Amino acid sequence: MFPGRSTLETFQPLFFPIIGQGVNPTFYYSVCPLAKSRSDLGLGIDRQLTVYVAMLRGINVSGQKIIKMETLRASFEALTFSRVRTYFQTGNVVFEASKGTVDNLSRKIKERILGDYAFSVPVILRTSAEMKKIVSDNPFLMEREIDHSRLHVTFLAELPEKAALGKLDSLNGDPDQFRIRNREVYLYCPNGYGRSKLSNSAFEKLLSVEATTRNWKTVNMLVEISSV
């Protein structure tokens, strides 16, 4: 590379005379090894890739199911996912992949983790767009005197059966509150999540679905990271 010049500027004489002549731009990724996406070459966002947020349940908790974040990133990269990033130590992974079914992606991740670490964990997936909507749809944000630090979201792996929703009546009771919107359960626990009966295991048991819970700060951080 030439000092003071960007990767794109360095290769500009090579690229631009021929890039409009039917040559696939992905060819230049091998010419320009620092380019990891079309946007790195100034060609715009690769519309074939989708940004996902994967939330693993129950790793690095109480000394159980330990996974270092650098090795977790390596596991995701081994699945040919790109731009893999992690947040915190509890299994939050942002990555890009070809658009596919959530069930298929979750299965691949679960199988990889089982093969790499010899234990299985539930994996809940949302797209970046879904995460943004989840934040904007939080019904508690419309209420006054709500302490945002006491908000949590329980993410369900799938839509629960309607018949199972009636079982949640047993969780009703002041001061804790919850609202269900599609595959998310919004929680408000004014005395703290640790003291609430609105636990992740309670929702899994009553709704018969896998789930994982994140506090409001983490949810917002995942939206921010997945938007970059």
Contacts 24+ apart (CB under 8 A), 101-105: 105/52
pLDDT for 26:
36
pLDDT for 33:
42
What are 187-228's pLDDT values in tens digits? Answer: 999 999 999 999 999 999 999 999 999 999 999 999 999 999
Question: From edge to edge, which strands make up the β-sheet containing 184-188?
Answer: 177-181, 184-188, 151-156, 211-215
- Kindly give the confidence (pLDDT) of every residue in the chain, 228 residues in length, as a single tens digit, with 9 standing for 90 and above: 444 444 433 333 333 333 333 434 333 333 344 444 444 544 444 558 999 999 999 999 999 999 999 999 999 999 999 999 999 999 999 999 998 899 999 999 999 999 999 999 999 999 999 999 999 999 999 999 999 999 999 999 999 999 999 999 999 988 999 999 999 999 999 999 999 999 999 999 999 999 999 999 999 999 999 999
Domains, in order of start, for the chain? 7-41 (no CATH), 49-127 (3.30.70.1280), 143-216 (3.30.70)
pLDDT for 113:
98
